[in-house]
Amino acid sequence: MSNKVSIQRLASGVPGLDELLGGGIPEFSFNLLAGTPGSGKTTMAHQIMFSLAAPERRALFFTVLGEPPLKMLRYQQQFPFFDVSKINHSIKFVNLAADLLDGNFDRVLARIADEVRDYQPSLVFVDSFRSVAQSAQSMDGGAASLQHFVQQLGMQMTSWLATTFLIGEYLAPEAESSPVFTVADGIIWMSQQVHRDALVRKIQVVKMRGQAQGLGIHTFRISDSGVDIFPRAMLTATASTVSIDGGQRLSTGVLELDKMMGGGVPAGYSLLVVGPSGSGKSVLATQFLAEGVRNGEVGVIAAFEKSPNQLLSHQLNTLIESGKLGVINTRTLDLSIDEILHDLIVMIRHMGAKRVVIDSLSGFELALAPSFRDDFRESLYRMIAVLTAMGVTVLMTAELEDRYEMLRFSSYGNAFLADAIVMQRYVELEGQLKRVISVVKVRASDHSKDIRFFDITSDGISIGHPSTQYVGILTGRPVPSPAVSGI
């Protein structure tokens, strides 16, 4: 039995943030919300405040210098979380500009202490702390008195049982902020970076006393509804909950292909379908999803090839309308893999999906913000690991330039990521462009080595006879094999 003090964790109200913090905001903690200008610090602070504030849990928001409070109120109320009815009931704004300008830190401290004593808030926000720090530099013994100020403030707020956020504008986690960094129980770092033409927002929990925060840098988005964080690396959280029957196979919806693969796609595998444009990759992906639905297995598709309003085939639309197939919104060209992965995981859990299609990797890469493309392989690896660990079977398509002098399975060297690979190609035969299909790899399983002709009919993929009477299929210009022609 333990008599340790139990730290209550407050739900921040910011999607994804609690997970990053390791369960929520520790009650009575003293936190620094730091970042570059325009990175969303004030927005997130407001989101937290409006979400948590209630008559029995009041919030005090001190504005110092920087953004004029009128502007802040004008813009922040555009967000749905801004609830006017809470102002002056459970939320109070206090401007400290005058106290800082003509006074010293002691005066600011005293003013904060007075307000806190009068209002007895459970939450205190100071926006922005940078302006306090800058004032410190212009004063005698600046750094020392800043440290004193921060320590005093931290002590006072904790004594008043107030969970506190200092909002600070920093270009980089630099030395001048170190007194704050030392005193703070939690440090959340927000930034925005422009690479090529795309803006990417990132968030990192640098420090969080007493609990295991989500490590690493995560992406977030500021939408019409506020800050939305997409925590990465959810593998550990989900891996233990899934067990897969090793022998279980999923039908691709193409009977002959199932046979070629040794009985279907092993459950929990990632299957890469490669082929040139128009070879039937999306058709196969659609059949894979339809077959799942036919067997009561819900599917999710992330389609990057087409715009949402001309989305997909009639067959896919029917599946979507039936509610057995979820579609991931692939929106804009500044996505992060974490955002897609987050959306996928939410939808897979929500729908209880067993089959996932990503169509295609090339389109996916294009939809990412340029700064993420450098890490595409690594991120893809993580994404596939997370998805397959959830027990879903993933089918990815990849466009392959049809070059006959060489055999490649993806333009990124991603083929090793896949547990199974199916290849589609064109060959020229008797004045016609024919399609062939072959199973290149099924990890830990027997599979056919045949190269088979196939057609795309109104019923989908129809696989024909093996092409054993020809040689040189992979050159694109096969000729009848000597044995056959000799007959």
Partner 1 sequence: MAIKDERYQMIERNVMRHPEQITADAIAMWNRLAVELVAIIGRSGFDTLYARNIHLVRARHPWLSDGNDPDFEQLKTSLEDQETAAAGAAAVDLLTTFIDTLIQLIGEPLTTALLKSAWSQDIADTAAKEINNEQ
Near partner 1 by CB under 8 A: residue from 7, 87, 143, 415: 87
Q: How far is the CB of 92 from partner 1 (least distance, A)?
A: 8
Contact by Cβ (8 Å): 328, 366:
no
Q: How far is the CB of 96 from partner 1 (least distance, A)?
A: 8
Closest CA to 368 of 190, 197, 223: 197
If the CB atoms of residues 118 and 428 are measured against partner 1, the closer one turns out to be 118
Q: Any contact of residue 128 with partner 1 (CB under 8 A)?
A: no
What's the chain look like in SS3? CCCCCCCCEECCCCCCHHHHHCCCEECCCEEEEEECCCCCHHHHHHHHHHHHCECCECEEEEECCCCCHHHHHHHHCCCCCCCHHHECCCEEEEECHHHHHCCCHHHHHHHHHHHHHHHCCCEEEEECHHHHHHHHHCCCCHHHHHHHHHHHHHHHHHHCCCEEEEEEECCCCCHHHHHHHHHCCEEEEEEEEEECCEEEEEEEEEEECCCCCCCCEEEEEEECCEEEEECCCCHHHHHCCCCCCCCCEECCCCHHHHHHCCCCEECCCEEEEEECCCCCHHHHHHHHHHHHHHCCCCEEEEECCCCHHHCCCHHHHHHHHCCCEEEECCCCCCECHHHHHHHHHHHHHHHCCCEEEEECHHHHHHHECHHHHCCHHHHHHHHHHHHHHCCCEEEEEEECCCCCCCCCCCCCCCHHHCCEEEEEEEEEECCEEEEEEEEEEECCCCCCCCEEEEEEECCEEEEEEECCCEECHHHCCCEECHHHHCC
If the CB atoms of residues 62 and 304 are measured against partner 1, the closer one turns out to be 62
Q: How far is the CB of 424 from partner 1 (least distance, A)?
A: 58
If the CB atoms of residues 111 and 195 are measured against partner 1, the closer one turns out to be 111
Q: How far is the CB of 97 from partner 1 (least distance, A)?
A: 4
Q: How far is the CB of 48 from partner 1 (least distance, A)?
A: 19
Q: How far is the CB of 67 from partner 1 (least distance, A)?
A: 11
Binding residues for partner 1 restricted to 53-82, rule: CB under 8 A: 63, 68-70, 73-74, 77
Q: Any contact of residue 138 with partner 1 (CB under 8 A)?
A: no
Stretch that binds partner 1, among 94-102, 145-153, 156-164, 459-467 (CB under 8 A): 94-102
Near partner 1 by CB under 8 A: residue from 88, 236, 240, 457: 88
Q: Any contact of residue 93 with partner 1 (CB under 8 A)?
A: yes
If the CB atoms of residues 85 and 243 are measured against partner 1, the closer one turns out to be 85
How far apart (Å, rounded) are the C-alpha atoms in residues 308 and 327?
9
Contact by Cβ (8 Å): 299, 357:
yes
Q: How far is the CB of 226 from partner 1 (least distance, A)?
A: 18
If the CB atoms of residues 97 and 474 are measured against partner 1, the closer one turns out to be 97
# of chain residues touching partner 1 (CB under 8 A): 17
If the CB atoms of residues 74 and 117 are measured against partner 1, the closer one turns out to be 74
Q: How far is the CB of 10 from partner 1 (least distance, A)?
A: 25
Binding residues for partner 1 restricted to 396-455, rule: CB under 8 A: none
Site string for partner 1, 10-49 (x = CB under 8 A): ----------------------------------------
How far apart (Å, rounded) are the C-alpha atoms in residues 452 and 437?
5
If the CB atoms of residues 72 and 347 are measured against partner 1, the closer one turns out to be 72
Q: How far is the CB of 93 from partner 1 (least distance, A)?
A: 4
If the CB atoms of residues 85 and 458 are measured against partner 1, the closer one turns out to be 85
Q: Any contact of residue 85 with partner 1 (CB under 8 A)?
A: yes
Q: How far is the CB of 82 from partner 1 (least distance, A)?
A: 9
Q: Any contact of residue 381 with partner 1 (CB under 8 A)?
A: no
Q: How far is the CB of 61 from partner 1 (least distance, A)?
A: 9
Residue ranges in contact with partner 1 by CB under 8 A: 63, 68-70, 73-74, 77, 84-85, 87-88, 92-95, 97-98
